[in-house]
Amino acid sequence: MADMAETTAAWTLHPDRMLPAEPTERAIARRLYSHVKDLPIISPHGHVPPEWIAQDLPFHDPTSLLLSPDHYVCRLLHADGVDLADLGMGAATSGRALDADGARRAWRIFCERWPLYRGTPSRYWMETELVEIFGVTQRPSAQTADAIYDQIAACLADPAYRPRALMDRFDIALIATTDDPCDDLRHHRALADEGYPRRVLPTFRPDRYLEPARPDWPALVAALGHASGIDTGRYAGYLAALENRRAYFKDHGAVSTDHSHADVVTLSLTDAEASAIYAAALAGTATEQQCTAFRRHMLVEMARMAVEDGLVMTLHPAVARNHHTAAFERFGADVGFDIPISVEFTRGLQPLLERFGTAAGFHLVLFTLDETTFSREIAPLAGVYPSVYAGVPWWFIDAPEAIRRFRGAVTETAGFSRTSGFIDDTRAFCSIPARHDMSRRLDCGFLARLVAEHRLDEDEAADTAYDLVATNPRKVFKL
């Protein structure tokens, strides 16, 4: 039967894909979905490079557009025995960018292994991209790889496939990028200066600057001093420099800061304690314990600044980054070797929430890769603190079954109003509409079940489906 995978049936997208199979539920879900399917995309967190939009340069080839930047796709190929270098991953680090032949070979590798993706969201997203955006009509396989490659390459030569044309076609009303605090945000400024009508916002991502245990931390705080024009030789200057860069980001349209450390334990040091650790860390004499305390203290400081400047704070902690050193050394970070670990929010965030949990205007969005916290911690916190929102699944678990589990676990304690709206969190630009569409279909399916079980009236479900797409992200991210 192995050859059944090779079948090249005409390929289409079923209009009811990802809706529940049960006919009553499906009929309701279809009606709910019809109201939200064409709403503009709001993407308050992701990793698309802003220069793509600012410079509107054409995409180079199918592989560098669709494969190399997508670590979900590449990691499963790696597990199947493919060398990441053959996929063009980590080209900057490995010094091995793919040439035209290499790009085509990578695409063949991917198409031959298309069965690997059965049951994964990468499958749904890629299928949607290929069919909807590029008009592909054959399932990927060894036989069809070249023809699909040529078809996409031909599209990419067409101005209709440049980033801004796709921004229009995808109807992305707002997209946030993720940026280093020292970034000059020139691309965001250029877009604003020219009056580009779709919002492209930066996001302040200071993790590295808050972790004095890193070997490159002294260089980072020096760079922070340079970027802010504030001497970071002492703790007070460091705080002022961070505040300065936050303000700079806010001036360039930022609405949020994003944080991902090994845990979310928080604590408040005194100024004297923090200053002393800061000095020791710069001098290279701080202990690991001191560095950890400082990092945890700084998360509270980030909350304090958020209360003051109004930027929304998002957390997605507890990932063992670069799990395989050899892969990190060859390919750099973000190549699929980040593995989740368990996390604790209730006790960890208590010091932060004691101080700012009910502060006016403070928004703290809790994302997790550890589903055990959905019903045990995140929903109970979001269901009582006016500052806390439950972030939807966005990494590893941004997939149909997991999103259903999320709604099933969070809604009963926190309802729908305390959730963030969909986050795509992606570098894979062409997958953005597929991801948001998937979320809309799944939420409509969840709501349809509530209606079919007479737990919600259909007008309420329609209202909620609309809110999840249009109201919640605007409210939670202050858009």
Which residues, 179 to 218, sit near a second copy by CB under 8 A?
A: none
Which of 2, 10, 92, 272 is close enough to bind a second copy by CB under 8 A? Answer: 2
Query: What distance in Å separates the CA atoms of residue 343 and residue 371, rounded to the nearest whole number?
Result: 10
C-alpha distances out from residue 361 to 111, 315, 470, Å? 49, 17, 20
Amino acid at residue number 277: I
Kindly determine how many residues on this chain lie close enough to bind a second copy according to the rule CB under 8 A.
Answer: 104
Which positions from 272 through 331 interact with a second copy, judged by CB under 8 A?
A: 320, 323-327
- Residue 323: phi and psi, rounded to 5, are -60, -30
Which of 375, 420, 426, 439 is close enough to bind a second copy by CB under 8 A? Answer: 375
Which positions from 42 through 61 interact with a second copy, judged by CB under 8 A?
A: none
Query: What distance in Å separates the CA atoms of residue 389 and residue 29, rounded to the nearest whole number?
Result: 26
The answer to the question of residue 94 lying near a second copy (CB under 8 A) is no
- What residues form DSSP beta bridges with 259? 315
Which positions from 64 through 93 interact with a second copy, judged by CB under 8 A?
A: 75-76, 78-81
Which residues make Cβ contacts (< 8 Å) with residue 335, sequence separation at least 6? Answer: 71, 74, 75, 84, 89, 90, 327, 328
The answer to the question of residue 8 lying near a second copy (CB under 8 A) is no
Contact (Cβ atoms closer than 8 angstroms) between residue 221 and residue 232:
yes
The answer to the question of residue 337 lying near a second copy (CB under 8 A) is yes
Contact (Cβ atoms closer than 8 angstroms) between residue 50 and residue 177:
yes
The distance of closest approach from Cβ of residue 369 to a second copy in the complex, given in angstroms and rounded to an integer, is: 6
The distance of closest approach from Cβ of residue 444 to a second copy in the complex, given in angstroms and rounded to an integer, is: 13
Which H, E and C letters describe 348-372, residue by residue?
Answer: CCHHHHHHHCCCCCCCEEECCCCCC
Give the contact letters, 460-479, x = binds to a second copy (CB under 8 A), - = no: x-xxx-x----x--------
The answer to the question of residue 255 lying near a second copy (CB under 8 A) is no
Considering the complex, state which of residue 165 and residue 339 has its C-beta at the smaller distance from a second copy.
339
Which positions from 342 through 371 interact with a second copy, judged by CB under 8 A?
A: 342, 344, 346-347, 350, 353-354, 357-358, 369-371
The distance of closest approach from Cβ of residue 148 to a second copy in the complex, given in angstroms and rounded to an integer, is: 17
The distance of closest approach from Cβ of residue 26 to a second copy in the complex, given in angstroms and rounded to an integer, is: 9
Query: What distance in Å separates the CA atoms of residue 141 and residue 134, rounded to the nearest whole number?
Result: 17
Q: What is the DSSP letter of 85?
A: G
Considering the complex, state which of residue 79 and residue 160 has its C-beta at the smaller distance from a second copy.
79
Of 54-62, 144-152, 158-166, 334-342: span binding a second copy (CB under 8 A)? 334-342
Considering the complex, state which of residue 37 and residue 198 has its C-beta at the smaller distance from a second copy.
37
The string of DSSP letters for 57-80 reads PPP--HIIIIITT-HHHHHHHHHT
Considering the complex, state which of residue 281 and residue 423 has its C-beta at the smaller distance from a second copy.
423
Which positions from 116 through 175 interact with a second copy, judged by CB under 8 A?
A: 116-121, 123-124, 139
Which positions from 387 through 446 interact with a second copy, judged by CB under 8 A?
A: 388, 396-397, 399-402, 405, 407-409, 411-418
Considering the complex, state which of residue 53 and residue 299 has its C-beta at the smaller distance from a second copy.
299
The distance of closest approach from Cβ of residue 238 to a second copy in the complex, given in angstroms and rounded to an integer, is: 29
The answer to the question of residue 384 lying near a second copy (CB under 8 A) is yes
The distance of closest approach from Cβ of residue 83 to a second copy in the complex, given in angstroms and rounded to an integer, is: 10
C-alpha distances out from residue 23 to 28, 29, 234, 415, 449, Å? 9, 10, 65, 26, 11
Which of 31, 108, 208, 376 is close enough to bind a second copy by CB under 8 A? Answer: 376
Considering the complex, state which of residue 20 and residue 202 has its C-beta at the smaller distance from a second copy.
20
Which residues make Cβ contacts (< 8 Å) with residue 148, sequence separation at least 6? Answer: 62, 107, 111, 130, 136, 138, 140
Strands 339-340 and 319-320: antiparallel
Q: Which two tokens stand for residue 43?
A: 């993407």
